[in-house]
Structure 1
Amino acid sequence: MLLDFSLIEDEGINEIESPLLSGVTQEPWPKDVKLYQPYELNQILLPDHANCLAVKTFLRMCHLNYEVVYKANAEAMSPTLKVPFIKAGQFVVANLEGIVQFVNGKGIMLTEKLDNEQKADMRAFMSLIHNVIENAELHICWADKLTYNRVTRVRHGSVYPWPLSYMQNWEKRSQVIKKLKALDWYNKTLDDVFAEVEACCEALNTRLDGKRYFFEEGPTELDALAFGHLSAILKTSLPRCELVSIVKKYPQLVDLVQRIRKEYF
């Protein structure tokens, strides 16, 4: 796997698992925060695009500046081997939840007006999105042969020369399939996958219940995560269009996507 060590040549850079580490809360948001992700034009896949969009949306909701840096091997550079990740001062933080914790540690919170029950509700729905929609995206991109052959292997391997592209695709597909098997998602039929996604969208639609955001108090990381995945699904061209059709069954969810895009992008 190709590695780019330019990110970690600075002295004093630390991976961060919790914002409670000494020194995090005392420093303001750095002016030169960088968000690392794969190339959008010809490389990034639906699940990664959704997660990158979710993090960007969360940071914009918090009115925090960042610069996007595109790297072919962004995933390999990440401390969790997942994208996106940010470099903020001496800290390298990956994934939406980790970045939310890091931002919260600086006293910036989208959930400060929520009570404990609402926060638990928010976390439950975020878990639902991760466990259903994200796994469905992975299944379609890596386990469905039609999508894999027409889209996934072409885009994922586009930044590498042959035969490295073949090796990278094989390694990544093996990792994803292993994960899907562990989560009992690999053997699901496409009908099973689409049914799970529709049930998840139904739950999100019920929770939204005509409000501008999932909570009347204002946007939270749940809105950012839902926007990331729903927007990515609506905007990504795949040989199978069932995911788009499912999301479009719920005008409230489509309106949420359009509202957040208009307000924050």
Structure 2
Amino acid sequence: MNHPMELYIWGGDWGLPSVDLHCLEIMAYAKFSGVPLQTCVTNNPFWTPNGRLPVFKHGKQILSSFPEISAYLRKKNFNADFGLSHKQCSEVLAYTQLLRGQLYFALQYVRWVDTKNYIELIRPWYAKALPFPCNYYYPGSYEREAKHQLQALYDQDDDPQSIETFVYGEAEKCLTALSTRLGDQEFFFGVHPTSLDATVYAYLAPLLKVPFPSPALQNYLKACPNLARFVVRITQRYFPYAIQEFDAKKSAGSGARGETPESVSDFPNRRRHQVLAGLFAAAAMTGYALSIGLVQVSIKDEVSENLANHEDLIQAAENTED
């Protein structure tokens, strides 16, 4: 029996096939390699193996990271880098490391740490896309993760403005290097896209297309017209449906999901829902750990204590609302 190759992803918006960098990277690589990939929009990472999207499935094979998935596809004779020389493959690796070392953290800052972007756009988008109660858990979890990443890189006593200036400065150097390397070519190694093009597209497309309220880094990208054309070219050629769907929404007068968001703060009983969502996530993750034998506990001795703790948390949430 031939099993389909499936990729479970975050959905798209603003003319993008997905709003998520990691989903876009695999989607683009699959397109460039001719993979007969079925994409399934789920917007719910809760039941995934590591609590994240994307997830690639092929029969019993389940993978989630780009290195794992691209290596697996190469074994199946789907290789976007076929024909590259050893020197060119080394260049792919060097620029990929540049992106992940300099641009990635700036993108994390733009989405999850910049207060204006997070409050006005990113958190409402994910809150609306995610099902309840996950919409009260994941946006805050991603925000905390991004802040922890940046704190691990920079002294916690540094002024936030200094951190932003440094992060954006490194990102601008990366964008300048990419623009210089691309030049007037269609793709980084000529007329055929490779894994480097997939990775660059995944990093640049959300930065270019998402309507960030604080657009400083976005404006720098727009000032590199060859990179902007690169993003538009790939979207139009390989993901035309995303543009068509976005245009159809605008024509229907409904607007894109991110343009008229329903804020998390507008939900009734917000604090209680956040507590319940956290409890739900913790309980489910503990249940998963128990089911695979990672954790062993004496349930008989702890049931009453856990119930009491849960009741105290809910009562505290209700008192906060009052």
Band the TM-score falls in, shorter-chain normalisation:
0.7 to 0.9
Report the alpha carbon displacement of residue 160 of structure 1 after superposing the two structures with TM.
4.4
Of 154, 157, 178, 2:127 maps to 157
Task: Give the equivalent residue in structure 1 for 2:168.
Answer: 194
- Higher percent of residues as helix: 2
User: For 1:101-160, what per-residue CA distance to the aligned partner results, in whole angstroms no more than 9, with x for missing partners?
Assistant: 111111222222112221111011112112222211111222222222112322233334
Report the alpha carbon displacement of residue 161 of structure 1 after superposing the two structures with TM.
3.9
The 2-side partners of 1:196 and 1:182 are apart by 16
Task: Give the equivalent residue in structure 1 for 2:89.
Answer: 119
Show the 5 A alignment for 1:91-240.
91-158=61-128, 159-161=130-132, 165-184=135-154, 189-216=163-190, 218-240=192-214
8 Å CA contact 2:22–2:54 kept in 1: the answer is yes
8 Å CA contact 2:186–2:230 kept in 1: the answer is yes
Task: Give the equivalent residue in structure 2 for 1:261.
Answer: 235
Q: Kindly, what percent of the aligned residue pairs are identical?
A: 23
Of 61, 64, 68, 2:35 maps to 64
SS at match of 2:56: strand
User: For 1:52-84, what per-residue CA distance to the aligned partner results, in whole angstroms no more than 9, with x for missing partners?
Assistant: 22211111111112222222322x344444422
8 Å CA contact 1:54–1:96 kept in 2: the answer is yes
Per mean C-alpha deviation after superposition, the further-off stretch among 241-250 and 190-199 is 190-199
Mind listing any 5+ residue stretches in structure 1 that lack a counterpart? 1-26
8 Å CA contact 1:85–1:93 kept in 2: the answer is yes
> Counterpart of 1:207 in structure 2: which amino acid?
R
8 Å CA contact 1:54–1:227 kept in 2: the answer is yes
The 2-side partners of 1:59 and 1:69 are apart by 14
Task: Give the equivalent residue in structure 1 for 2:25.
Answer: 54
Residue 250 of structure 1 pairs with residue 248 of structure 2: no
Q: Residues 258 and 149 of structure 1: is their aligned pair in 2 closer, same or farther, counting only changes over 3 Å?
A: closer
The 2-side partners of 1:166 and 1:83 are apart by 17
> Counterpart of 1:51 in structure 2: which amino acid?
H
8 Å CA contact 1:205–1:253 kept in 2: the answer is yes
Q: Residues 216 and 132 of structure 1: is their aligned pair in 2 closer, same or farther, counting only changes over 3 Å?
A: same
Per mean C-alpha deviation after superposition, the further-off stretch among 149-158 and 179-188 is 179-188
> Counterpart of 1:236 in structure 2: which amino acid?
V
SS at match of 1:52: helix
The 2-side partners of 1:168 and 1:112 are apart by 38
Q: Residues 157 and 120 of structure 1: is their aligned pair in 2 closer, same or farther, counting only changes over 3 Å?
A: same
The 1-side partners of 2:123 and 2:75 are apart by 39
The 1-side partners of 2:233 and 2:136 are apart by 40
The 1-side partners of 2:106 and 2:198 are apart by 19
User: For 1:210-229, what per-residue CA distance to the aligned partner results, in whole angstroms no more than 9, with x for missing partners?
Assistant: 22211137311110111122
Count of aligned pairs: 232
8 Å CA contact 2:6–2:40 kept in 1: the answer is yes
The 2-side partners of 1:113 and 1:125 are apart by 18
8 Å CA contact 1:227–1:257 kept in 2: the answer is yes
8 Å CA contact 1:210–1:252 kept in 2: the answer is yes
Task: Give the equivalent residue in structure 2 for 1:5.
Answer: none
The 1-side partners of 2:33 and 2:3 are apart by 14
SS at match of 1:189: helix
Report the alpha carbon displacement of residue 41 of structure 1 after superposing the two structures with TM.
5.1
> Counterpart of 1:210 in structure 2: which amino acid?
D
Report the alpha carbon displacement of residue 240 of structure 1 after superposing the two structures with TM.
0.9
Task: Give the equivalent residue in structure 2 for 1:13.
Answer: none
SS at match of 2:39: strand
Q: Residues 161 and 83 of structure 1: is their aligned pair in 2 closer, same or farther, counting only changes over 3 Å?
A: closer
> Counterpart of 1:112 in structure 2: which amino acid?
F
Task: Give the equivalent residue in structure 2 for 1:37.
Answer: 9
Report the alpha carbon displacement of residue 201 of structure 1 after superposing the two structures with TM.
0.7
